[in-house]
Structure 1
């Protein structure tokens, strides 16, 4: 007899399966956390596993380790609570769980606890990689639980191999997959969630209503997609792709910000030409409300609004993948009448900053007279002749514009746009900084455009009489031979076979877009259109309850049929016995559902004496092989298959 103590031990292979489950479960979650924090959690997991491999870590040491890990996570997340902070704490607790795992009960607890990680990862990312890693974790958990059950029943000697266990788990998943897909497509979806989830503690990359020196470098070094654009009809040239975002008016000598009251002013109609661009933008989540559109959007789509400076804002935070259908047209005149309040804000400069820039602006004004357009052209010519583009620039001092214009004369879009607007304002020309994205990359497979975070850009708008606001991009005025260091150069440095990499990147992004369209974009509206093909025009009230009831009955019937079918097909001996029963049923001698095998054989023998000996013998052998402990009958299976009444 095996003692409880012996049964409760966990062998090496079972421990490895348990640890593999924890590792696979953590992987999709760690990929969504900051790199330094993810590395620290992995280190803690390896340390806890190594120290507690032979025996559990002492309780006091485990408590100390837990406190250190929790403190490290909170410190890294800057003591801000949110979705990512909670997910990081969960990952840290799973990472140190091996420090107390030595018995079957501990192992089961660890497997169950670890499965929270891939589900939590979906709070941060719903991409295909997260789904794939989550499925692998679930499959590994099922194999681990099978292994632990075999250990507990002391039947490891006769248990299936790892390959057989994986095959069995794969069959279970294959059986359940049709039900899962049916539920995904047809289970009633609500237009809005029943409950909310906390926001993120760490913001995602995205445009903001503030521009500070050096503040964009992290975003401009991020080559992940910010949005994907599909044009319906002609597309603009790449040089015309200015994706308008927040417009910044206020300057304090160092940073540019957008006044909140600007958003509350209504947008006035603009004069547009004959050019029209019709397109759809698919935004990646940013947790902000800021949208972008080609310069300039003609109207705001449903669920958004235009500010007076034609910034586009969503009514709710963009915490999930969203799609917006837009039309844009380049303006011929953009607000040719400037209100006094807006003119005052577009000319304001902080006192006591950048004296050399102010002096130069006064000099140019005296030399050009009232010709604002000539003054703008003179500034752009200066940029072309004397300035260079590079990312390698020091942070500015107190008079950052003076340092850039007269000392450094090199920088990137933040430096050029900010300094240009200050120079224009000092010369009496209303100006403002516009932020957004510039350009994009066309996906050669899908035919759509990808705008990345690294395409973030800042340019200027100046107000000219009769024309209104006019876009001026001083960064684009830099002579090509003076472009020394760009993000594209840094990303492609040292990479060979660039064309092949681009092709692979196009295919990967095309697959991600397909996932977004097929899975993430399947919302209540699309489900309603799907249900309309079945005659359900509106899903609500009694129809919703009826559909839920139908799903419940179908699910119960499906699972019941699978359980019965699985029991019939799991044992070849039982299958052969059932086939024997069906042969006698053709003679009207079938076995009753509540009739034991031997009793049935004796009843048949009374009615058909010529079959008494063979059937009774087979029934006794079947009962012994099926239910008696330690009884084997290698020939029984073939005898059952060959017997005919």
Structure 2
């Protein structure tokens, strides 16, 4: 016995399958590098068009696979990671339409396509990704309905009716999904970690190299959002401290990892205190930032000897931290011999002109370290300029910057200043992080973007300890204390002002999504009922609540589905609604009572000839197979109301 021939796709069913696949692929492509995403989208479109008349030869498909693998290698390298795996999935899905010929192929394509929005959640859990994933799932259900109708050779309902059916399915499953989200016990730490990304998100690193920050400073996406609980620091105090660089090899500054094991040095804090909460965007690294200086480390992080914060695990998802900071009065009143040596370290044979100038200044200033700092800042303020277009330096980078170029950005200023101070015998180091931030008036919080990345210096002065010195602020204070948004907020009008307000509203919505969804961790789950005055929920109570709600939801789903199966016919649904209107007046139809018998009983109790006529038409249409205008009958059933005649 031979197998039946596979059912071929018609033009409409193929279009539905391809549209659903494209919609499922979209949220994943939005998370990949733009060149790679555009190429994959182009290949997907070309493959769908070329394979419209038949299957592509095996050789062509094999060449497509090899070409896509080569493209991913060129864009991401050989390093495995989440985005590499997602790129492979997107590439294979793009050429999957080359095998689209039968109904079975279409179902296989749709099943494969639904992995794409789930993979997108490995890279981003924002509202746009969620919305696109939901739309992709709904479109896939519509496509599967279409395939079932083609296979059963049944008439295709109107699109509006199909959409209503899919929405009904989604609404039926929504209570169970919401109960699982709110009540399924969450782990404070994952059982396993996600692999790192091959193409890391822009973020602060434990090293600073020439030109390394250009991509970061061109990225206007948020790095963190801060909510202050009480006083807000002034612009000159909004320095967000990150990794501290102490080792210099002549080209790059590197953080001393040994400081992570050492205890923080003593600090005498000032009277001012800032209490705040930050929502830190994912970076796949461990470096955190805090307002300069943090008083202690929050749970899940540790404070290094140089007062940098390091997370216990990679920051692969949005994280929330509650912190307190205060400006220091005395920061490390004394330096141990190894600390002084570390803060004066310089490589041999680099930057001879800088070393000669520093020795000259030291001879002229004597033991006054503060005078050396002031003289350096006066020089920078008088002769230097700020620009992101500075040339990449050669071997003696500091000499070239100080004596030849005299133009650069914070990376150049901080590095050159620290090298100059060390050559003069002043302990100094580079501090990286962010500077500034823009207040969003809608939510009264501050947004610090990745483009606000900044590097400054700290010098050690007798009696004061480590003191922050920002040579970039000496030449370009607007870079630190002012932003484009600040200037627009003061003078913008028309389209600029409207655009700024729209951006603020969108960021406020994104922050709300982060607050309600992405920051809902194990601690917040256990505190779910605190607003009602109830104690924290234990994992056992969460599971019990979830089981009860799940059983109720499943029971409701079964009832709705069974009721829908019983009342699939719109005429029958309209007839039952008509019966419920009469039941409210004490004239309900008995379960075993025929339609005409019930209509006659109602007419006998109160004159209702319209009901008799409607019942007769309904019986003929439903049971006798008589040709009846269904649309007119359906409208009359929905419109009819019980007569107002008195009951005898």
Which range, TM-score by smaller chain?
Answer: 0.7 to 0.9
CA distance in 1 between counterparts of 2:405 and 2:361 reads: 21
Aligned to 1:172: 169
Alignment deviations for residues 310-344 of structure 1 (CA, whole Å, 9 cap, x no partner)? 11111111111111111111111110110110110
- Asked if the contact 2:184–2:543 (Cα under 8 Å) also holds between the matched residues in 1, the reply is no
Residues 379-458 of structure 1 aligned to structure 2 (within 5 Å): 379-458=376-455
Alignment deviations for residues 572-601 of structure 1 (CA, whole Å, 9 cap, x no partner)? 3434666799999x9999456xx9x89x99
Aligned to 1:45: 44
CA distance in 2 between counterparts of 1:386 and 1:184 reads: 59
Aligned to 1:468: 465
Residues 495 and 234 (structure 1 numbering): CA distance in 2 closer, same or farther, change over 3 Å? Answer: closer
TM-score for the superposition, normalised by structure 2: 0.87
Residues 129-140 of structure 1 aligned to structure 2 (within 5 Å): 129-140=128-139
CA distance in 2 between counterparts of 1:192 and 1:33 reads: 27
By how many angstroms is 1:548 displaced?
A: 4.0
1:332 aligns with 2:329: yes
Aligned to 1:126: 125
Aligned pair partner of 1:355 in 352, 356, 379: 352
By how many angstroms is 1:626 displaced?
A: 6.1
1:228 aligns with 2:228: no
TM-score for the superposition, normalised by structure 1: 0.88
CA distance in 1 between counterparts of 2:532 and 2:373 reads: 63
CA distance in 2 between counterparts of 1:541 and 1:241 reads: 40
Aligned to 2:94: 95
CA distance in 2 between counterparts of 1:181 and 1:282 reads: 24
Question: Is 142-151 or 306-315 further displaced after alignment?
Answer: 142-151
Aligned to 1:509: 507
Aligned to 1:547: 545
1:526 aligns with 2:545: no
CA distance in 2 between counterparts of 1:348 and 1:544 reads: 56
Residues 81 and 175 (structure 1 numbering): CA distance in 2 closer, same or farther, change over 3 Å? Answer: same
Any unmatched runs of 5+ in structure 1?
Answer: 605-617
Aligned to 2:288: 291
Residues 496 and 33 (structure 1 numbering): CA distance in 2 closer, same or farther, change over 3 Å? Answer: farther
CA distance in 2 between counterparts of 1:281 and 1:242 reads: 14
CA distance in 1 between counterparts of 2:64 and 2:129 reads: 29
* DSSP-derived class of the 2:53 partner: coil
Question: Is 90-99 or 191-200 further displaced after alignment?
Answer: 191-200
By how many angstroms is 1:495 displaced?
A: 12
CA distance in 2 between counterparts of 1:459 and 1:340 reads: 24
Aligned to 1:112: 111
By how many angstroms is 1:32 displaced?
A: 0.6
1:559 aligns with 2:582: no
- Asked if the contact 2:232–2:274 (Cα under 8 Å) also holds between the matched residues in 1, the reply is yes
CA distance in 1 between counterparts of 2:49 and 2:619 reads: 50
* DSSP-derived class of the 2:516 partner: helix
CA distance in 2 between counterparts of 1:428 and 1:325 reads: 38
Aligned to 1:612: none
CA distance in 2 between counterparts of 1:451 and 1:242 reads: 11
- Asked if the contact 1:188–1:547 (Cα under 8 Å) also holds between the matched residues in 2, the reply is no
By how many angstroms is 1:172 displaced?
A: 3.0
Aligned pair partner of 2:570 in 556, 569, 572: 572
CA distance in 2 between counterparts of 1:28 and 1:479 reads: 40
Aligned to 2:199: 202
Question: Is 517-526 or 28-37 further displaced after alignment?
Answer: 517-526
* DSSP-derived class of the 1:185 partner: helix
CA distance in 2 between counterparts of 1:551 and 1:631 reads: 47
Aligned to 1:142: 141
- Asked if the contact 1:581–1:590 (Cα under 8 Å) also holds between the matched residues in 2, the reply is no
By how many angstroms is 1:632 displaced?
A: 5.0
By how many angstroms is 1:152 displaced?
A: 1.2
By how many angstroms is 1:98 displaced?
A: 1.0
- Asked if the contact 1:220–1:487 (Cα under 8 Å) also holds between the matched residues in 2, the reply is no
Alignment deviations for residues 489-523 of structure 1 (CA, whole Å, 9 cap, x no partner)? 9x99x998322221111111001001111111122
1:153 aligns with 2:169: no
Residues 92 and 208 (structure 1 numbering): CA distance in 2 closer, same or farther, change over 3 Å? Answer: same
Alignment deviations for residues 69-127 of structure 1 (CA, whole Å, 9 cap, x no partner)? 12322332211111111111111111111111121111111112111111111111010
Residues 56 and 330 (structure 1 numbering): CA distance in 2 closer, same or farther, change over 3 Å? Answer: same
Residues 555 and 193 (structure 1 numbering): CA distance in 2 closer, same or farther, change over 3 Å? Answer: farther
* DSSP-derived class of the 2:52 partner: coil
By how many angstroms is 1:15 displaced?
A: 1.5
Residues 274 and 544 (structure 1 numbering): CA distance in 2 closer, same or farther, change over 3 Å? Answer: closer
CA distance in 2 between counterparts of 1:50 and 1:101 reads: 11
Aligned to 2:8: 9
By how many angstroms is 1:534 displaced?
A: 7.2
- Asked if the contact 1:247–1:311 (Cα under 8 Å) also holds between the matched residues in 2, the reply is yes
* DSSP-derived class of the 1:274 partner: coil
Aligned to 1:272: 269
Indicate the RMSD between aligned Cα atoms, in angstroms: 3.5
Question: Is 60-69 or 125-134 further displaced after alignment?
Answer: 60-69
CA distance in 2 between counterparts of 1:474 and 1:126 reads: 39
Aligned to 1:321: 318
By how many angstroms is 1:191 displaced?
A: 2.9
CA distance in 2 between counterparts of 1:499 and 1:96 reads: 45
Aligned to 1:615: none
- Asked if the contact 2:17–2:140 (Cα under 8 Å) also holds between the matched residues in 1, the reply is yes
Task: Report how many residues are paired.
Answer: 619
By how many angstroms is 1:165 displaced?
A: 2.0
* DSSP-derived class of the 2:138 partner: helix
By how many angstroms is 1:474 displaced?
A: 0.5
Aligned to 1:184: 181
* DSSP-derived class of the 1:229 partner: strand
- Asked if the contact 1:228–1:281 (Cα under 8 Å) also holds between the matched residues in 2, the reply is yes
CA distance in 2 between counterparts of 1:632 and 1:85 reads: 62
Residues 248 and 382 (structure 1 numbering): CA distance in 2 closer, same or farther, change over 3 Å? Answer: same
CA distance in 1 between counterparts of 2:626 and 2:11 reads: 31
- Asked if the contact 1:56–1:102 (Cα under 8 Å) also holds between the matched residues in 2, the reply is yes
- Asked if the contact 2:527–2:537 (Cα under 8 Å) also holds between the matched residues in 1, the reply is no
- Asked if the contact 2:211–2:392 (Cα under 8 Å) also holds between the matched residues in 1, the reply is yes
- Asked if the contact 2:82–2:196 (Cα under 8 Å) also holds between the matched residues in 1, the reply is yes
* DSSP-derived class of the 1:141 partner: helix
- Asked if the contact 1:528–1:538 (Cα under 8 Å) also holds between the matched residues in 2, the reply is yes
* DSSP-derived class of the 2:468 partner: strand
CA distance in 2 between counterparts of 1:317 and 1:480 reads: 34
Aligned to 2:308: 311
By how many angstroms is 1:643 displaced?
A: 13
